[in-house]
Structure 1
Amino acid sequence: TQRGNNNAYCQDNELSWFDWRLVESNREVLRFTRELIALRQRHAALTRNRFFTGEPLAGRGIPDIAWYGPGLEAPAWHLGYARFLACTIAGLTRDEEDLHLLFNMSENEIQAALPSIENRRWHLAVDTAAAPPGDIVARQEQRPQGVASYTVRPRSVVVLEAR
């Protein structure tokens, strides 16, 4: 814990120092974090220098970001009890992969429809409900998802890459 300190980033002491003795016992967390950093680094859309607008990207014809409920309907922003949200983040160029992120905050599995993107197929990159090492899949090991929906398990996050 941070011993009640919610601003530990400004603490230059044992409160915020990384204890390297814990690396071996936390190797799965370290592996997951390394792969997550690699995923972020290969997607320029995740390191943008402008806010998302929801407007179509020049040369792409799809919005920079689109928000969805589980059936690809508009998300239930106004419902305080809504427990699912998904979004598609377009690659900045035609060569960059698009991403679809699914967030299930409920106690139940949710069958979520996947948007179709012309000439692309979804590949599973992250499923936080999967047991390690299947919780994050290196790009070269990803397999196309041959389905129009994905079962998002309770309290989990799924990331799919379209290529």
Structure 2
Amino acid sequence: MFLKEVQMVDEYGKGLQGESTCITEMFLWELGKTFKTNDCQAIFFICGDFEEMKLVKTVQEEPDMLCPKHSYEAEIPFDMPAFQKLQSYEKKVMMAGVLEEAMLFVAEQRNWDKAAVAKAFAKMRQKDYKHQFKARRPKMSPILN
């Protein structure tokens, strides 16, 4: 089984999921589509006022309304008031740091390849958290043709 989705959501309802999409998608891109897991296709990091990181829920056989089959949920300490005061780039850096720590935690708990996770974040830092890629060839909009 391969990891296909990573999301950061908040217990506050302040829209962290939308703001973190750029970082989570960049992480998945740098990690590659071949990151093998035993039983997980998606991880949901619930960010909030938690004392410590904790893997709350692991694999489920049947999907429910909120989480797909073969997904994990982890509680992650996150300072939302401090986050909201940051500028755009600083928010990316903070989210990437939290995501890296959380992914390494889950990787250790589930005996995944921590070196691959660390390598993906090193690439992200090297690219200064700018997720850019070039299309093989540009396509014209069907309206303009």
Q: Which TM-score bucket, shorter chain as reference?
A: under 0.3
TM-score, normalisation: structure 2 = 0.27
Could you say which structure has the larger radius of gyration?
1
Kindly indicate which of the two structures has a greater share of residues assigned to strand: 1
Kindly indicate which of the two structures has a greater share of residues assigned to helix: 2
| Greater RCO structure (CA 8 Å; 6+ sep) | 2
